């Protein structure tokens, strides 16, 4: 069975006992979380969420630059009133530089000099930088709480970045 067949089969089992229909689109906690796509992070369990509680926006590194469009929609059309920016230890985004990935792509015949892949070296500083980027964007609400965290992939603990 290939990975897609496995996914569809698992979905059928999930749907057989599914009880989440009818939830409203606006998140109950009025919370949007920007976090990394890393497969080791289970935002629902790690952050104590239930279906319908929050918008969880995931991308490589949990970078705000890639999430501004989604945050704008979440706030303007679906009523979120708080934002958590959650990066994590052991992130692959700390293992390369833009030029490294551009060179790899160039070797495959792809020119990506115009793309900022947004790697970082210091996870705490990346959280601070993303909060600053959020605060400088006219697309998102500036009158709501925005807090930054680092999730430890080894302990499962969340630590606030100040």
Q: What's the CATH code of the domain at 65?
A: 3.40.1050.10
Residue 73 lies in a domain: yes
Total domains, the chain: 1
Whose tokens are 């070797």? That residue is 107
Residue 19 lies in a domain: no
The answer to whether the CB of 120 falls within 8 A of the CB of 129 is yes
State pLDDT tens for residues 34-69: 999 999 999 999 999 999 999 999 999 999 999 999
pLDDT tier at 145, thresholds 50, 70, 90: very high
Rounded CA gap, 161 and 40, in Å?
Answer: 21
**Strand partners of residue 146:** 83
109 is in which domain, residue-wise? 24-161
Name the pTM for this structure.
Answer: 0.95
Residue 13 lies in a domain: no
Residue 2 lies in a domain: no
């Amino acid at each position: 069975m290939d990975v897609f067949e496995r996914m569809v089969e698992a979905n059928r089992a999930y749907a057989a006992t599914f009880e989440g229909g009818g939830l409203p689109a606006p998140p109950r906690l009025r919370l949007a979380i920007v976090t990394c796509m890393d497969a080791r992070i289970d935002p629902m369990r790690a952050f104590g969420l239930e279906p319908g509680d929050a918008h969880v926006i995931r991308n490589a590194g949990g970078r705000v630059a890639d999430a501004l469009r989604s945050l704008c929609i979440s706030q303007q059309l679906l009523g979120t009133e708080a934002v958590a920016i959650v990066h994590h230890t052991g992130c692959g985004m700390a293992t390369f530089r833009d030029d490294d990935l551009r060179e790899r792509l160039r070797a495959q015949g792809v020119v990506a000099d115009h793309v900022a892949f947004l790697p970082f070296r210091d996870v705490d500083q990346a959280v601070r930088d993303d909060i600053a980027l959020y605060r400088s964007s006219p697309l998102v609400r500036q009158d709501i709480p925005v807090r930054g965290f680092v999730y430890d992939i080894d302990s499962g603990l969340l630590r606030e970045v100040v």
